[in-house]
Structure 1
Amino acid sequence: MGEGGAVPLPAGGLSEARTPEERAALFEAGRLLFARPCTFFFAAQRIDQLPPVAGPEIAFCGRSNVGKSSLVNALTGQKALARVSNTPGRTKQLNFFNLGDRLTLVDMPGYGYAQASKSVKADWQGLMFDFLRGRPTLRRVFLLLDARIETKPADRAAMTLLNEAAVAFQIVLTKADDAKPWWLEQRRQEAERLARGHTAAHPLVMVTSSETGLGIPELRAEIAALAAPG
């Protein structure tokens, strides 16, 4: 038991929660964390524009139109915090959000949409890699994969990039409400196999839907284990 009888949070999140009490403590910590105000405070298009390193950070990355902004909005309970666009590739910068002075959320540029020029893709990949390697307080990257479609070469390339940058990452399946149950299970198993193939990957695959709220409490709980105490 922690101070005052509180159950200490497993540092590794839900995968290390050994008792119902530890799981319940993580879920409650996630609820309280995301009940705090979350505000946009910075955007950067180049590595020399990044804000100073402060407290712990987590980042969300994935292919364009995978639902990063929708997921951030669902987690924070704010419909318009992160910009949602139907145009792939609209987000071309790193967007930083302050979650209750406990955690910084970073919405990374989408990758892999067909209309992007090779030079733009290279610039984005360079920015991502420089950011990932240069942020000592970056606790984890949540790599979003669309549950409705097969894993794309760009997704596999992103995993390789994260692995080479030695940055811990965790796969999150999005848009699960729009996938047939048998296909969703197949996608989850595939994601687990992909995670096992990368030393930097967290073994627990999260399954979410921003539309129905599926998996949102679990993802909040997982993130709470990475936040600063308070």
Structure 2
Amino acid sequence: MIAMALTLYAHPFSAFCQKALVALYENATPFTVRPIDLGSEADAAALAALWPMRRFPVLVDGDTVLPEATVIIEHLDLHHPGPMPLIPRDRDAAIEARLLDRVFDNDILVPMQKVVLDAIRPAGARDPFGVAQARTALRTAYAWLDARLAGRAWAAGESFSLADCAAAPGLLYADWVEPIPEAFATLRTYRARLLARASYARALDEARPYRRLFPLGDPGRD
């Protein structure tokens, strides 16, 4: 049987695209990137033809079209498994990994994006109250994560998982927006461990040419 080629529609600077890329790189899964520039009408149309919500990443696996990074990683783990299982085989551990995945997406990436996107709004349309709420949400999430991750090598335990794929870009960009306090040594050390992981280091290097696009300015650090 001939294996179908995987194609990932993505942009390297997108946090959610990096999340999917980490999973692919972690298991050296063969795939092709279809770069998407949302400033290009042709690229936007190509993405909309696959996923009308026009969000990336989108994975095409033969006749199967999958949006959303979490769903893509679940699909890869089921249909293209490698030496590193990204969904723990133990059911309780899998629940913990999925919980942490949602926290990194909803409580780290979403408020981070609120602050970033507000910076590119017209001056009269900005939302300082919403930005303050987003920064508070980040600090709340930092405190919860610092306690939850105590004694763990990775987000859900001793093995790298779906949750870490989400955490790597989430904590990279969140720390640029609302620095993780020095008091949260567990979380800061975990972030450093993620940035040093070969799979994320590769995604991070691929994103470097686009750091000038960060609306709050390139912080000059990882």
| TM > 0.5 | no
**TM-score calculated relative to the size of structure 2:** 0.32
More strand by share: 1
More helix by share: 2
